[in-house]
Structure 1
Amino acid sequence: MGEIIEVDPARLRAMARRAAAAGSAIAGLSWPRPDPDQLRGSALSGITAPDLMAQRVAHVAADLRGWAETARRSADTFDHADTSAADRLGLP
């Protein structure tokens, strides 16, 4: 049995703006990295965790921005579909 789903393009766009802003904020974060010169000879000199975290955070930021772009396009498509249907049916 099907259900009727209602989408509010304005709210979807607002959510997309928030997701894009979050992605940009996350992308702007910097991760502390140990200074290799100060750690020379130490067991910590070869740690890669900061680089790995930076890569993962960059992926999260990119995914948020990608979701935001997709949501904006979806909102535009919903608006276009509504307008086209209204035109075909002669509705204001």
Structure 2
Amino acid sequence: MDEETFERVRAVVESIPNGRVLSYGDVAALAGLRSARLVGRILSEDGADVPWHRVLRSDGTVATHLREQQLTRLRAEGVLADRDRVPMRRYRWSPAP
């Protein structure tokens, strides 16, 4: 995987506003990638300094192994989960075309 791909994903994640979220698939589409899993891999390898917590599964659930940390960060930004699921219709960010 090349550095340009990493940077495109990081740029999309950095652009998600406070209090908003995207799915891994949304990030992939905006970064010009076909794979949501690739976004997850990139964030796990090189995402500590970007707002990774704003990226969720398509159903609004959070990363299992980072559940408490991710939900805490989202709550601090005003994103409220119903149990462990963020209502995507309410919080999904729609970037301007």
Superposition TM-score, scaled by structure 2 size: 0.24
- Structure of higher CA gyration radius: 1
More strand by share: 2
Point out which structure has higher relative CO (alpha carbons under 8 A, 6+ apart): 1
More helix by share: 1
